[in-house]
Structure 1
């Protein structure tokens, strides 16, 4: 019998903490647990597997920004974590309202622990019960895997193989391609409509589907074939059914599904050549080799293209979202995941390559899956032979833009995790052409008095100057960017001009000051 969140909250080891559900109370009664884990690490989501009750003392959350707290909640919800329990006290007197609102929106139960309890004792007591339950789930999952293997050996279709999994988990099971197309699906036997009542069943299903969708738990499992992500297994578990069994059985079935796909729809030459092409680009292979692989991967060797580099602990999970976006915005593409780095190249429309690149960049910024990651879109190059340069420039951009002060805010004021390498063209050139001493000396000669003033007065005139220059010397625009009154902006500029030898707009020094201000940020 599944162990639910409400059962755990009533356990003596947790009742001592005086728990109160602050968000997701409607889901608490039916939320099932797979494990209890504790961590103070805010980047813990990629290390979790879904179904956990996560315990945290709140120290790291107390020091985090509001944006980071909200990201933390969203990442846990996206990972399928069952619930989050936060201890309040001296470090974190109460749960931030922004976190509670984000959790409520994401459907993630959040519990406030108002008294201190030893997390070790909680985990030992509850996990021992969960282990006993997981043994039974593993046995049933193995039975499902064996039955699916038998179906495969007898030549059963993908639908029939999934029907075995659906029958044991009582879940609707769907296998989808990376582009979102349904490859196969199955429903539990009790949900299958009778042939004589198909019309009535279809109408009934249409009416009831929204209700089921609202309450069912959707579990995503990646299905790689020959090491290449080929599909996703989706299990929609109705309320009251065992989610942990569905998750365990689904993961146990991955190898069987990979074999079935290999027999019926094995990765084509394009997919295999695409992965080989990305490895060759990343290692700097000779142009003739890149042209050879590009042809096999369906990428025109002489078409303009752009590189995309994504760095994340969940890069493999992001691959599907990125590939779906590239399929919509690019003529052709290839991707490859190497540990925490996702590499991609996308060929663009030759007659409007820059416009295509901007559309690709804007679309990446809007992908919900990109939250909590850092990505860069490289410059456009004329063909596949120059793809290594676009990849290298995108990687360099990520090295230069590894802090929020280098990012560009979006329309809603939030900083986008996707960075345009062209916005860092000056920095990329300076880093590659000048050694650190040359850069420091140049900045010092141009802005020495201003830097000394900031250091002595703890002011931020350098940031003001950089913003003003980035805004094309438009004082009103710069004031809005810095959230200051225009009069205050004029006063700051007068002080800056005094320190820099006068208003640079009437001299030939404007470009030099702008370059120095941007190089100073690199330091």
Structure 2
């Protein structure tokens, strides 16, 4: 805090003058920008505000009206206060001038003994300059602290702790939903600091710039590029407002810069990882030695065996960015393969079941599939391709505890891997072509009836229940269905062929709908 009127009066040189405060007691804590000695009547013309004016009363002595006008000018220009040295020539301040000062809450002080004004100005100015030097020193310390932390890529928690150390106050970083991201408690336990935090935080308005508000008098500053704040830094008990503001704003800048650097680095890393995985799938890595060297250069631990894995969301309305974020700590490469798939290449020792469970804990809609363990880097391309097929199939099946593999999806996985094979398409058309054409022309729900019939293993009683049909209407429908498929429905081999064809049809239909 800068030198105040109260602190100036306490200096030995002014205290020796036996000062008496006649008005403006509440204004004694106003900061002093400078000390000015003036005896001219037109005093307002030589001031700019926040000066402590020293006078022997010469500029006020002409008349009571002149004294009142002298005070009026000081009030209007925003002076910090007036100190009048009383003497035989000027024994008291006129009532009019005193009334003007009291009405404005303006500090007016009289000295009952003479003092050397030059010593007053010298001491007060020395104190002001020392305070200004201290503020410059403190600003330099704040700058160095956060610059060093920025270069060291310090965490959010470390930046918040630095802000707390510099302000001597507890500091909390919260997001826009008032969830605490990082905290540093000072002079109070963390649990007390965060008690009922969301409610208390919502009572303190969010400001577009640094400011103090709310019932607890918190100092807050937004964190984020202007117009795009993502959080708020809270100094709960700022001791010195100017310093707390400086620290809070510098800490907010450091937090945003760190977030931008982290985001940029992550983006570059993801592009590099994705490029390697796509080169692997397309056979552009060259020799095994070159591929292994590139993989090591990307920071992946050296390993004899590697596994390709693919993550995707069950629904098509999500973003793969969510998956990338959730998989950020996996040992190995993580990169976006396309709009639906995130690829992984990990050493064989990585527990992908554990990775899958952790992923599901963050993204319940996610599926993680793995291919076979491959010896070497280049053979892992086949593992990655297999994982993509398995992931697509697993996304249509009930949730699985852990990482899904080919052995877990069985026939659906086989058909999915053969979905581009013309022979499978011809088979499905041969089995279901007439039925699908009939459905396209007339409707009637016979395809769904076949799906239900196969699901219950040909049990007509159970079929009537799940299909919500009565037995009387069921038999003609089944007869028509049998005519269209051209095979007896009660034959196990026929049901098996129809089931495979229908599964292949459903998979292709689902893929087209994505």
- TM score, norm. by length of structure 2: 0.44
More helix by share: 1
Q: Say which one has the larger Rg.
A: 2
Q: Which structure has more RCO (C-alpha within 8 Å, separation ≥ 6)?
A: 1
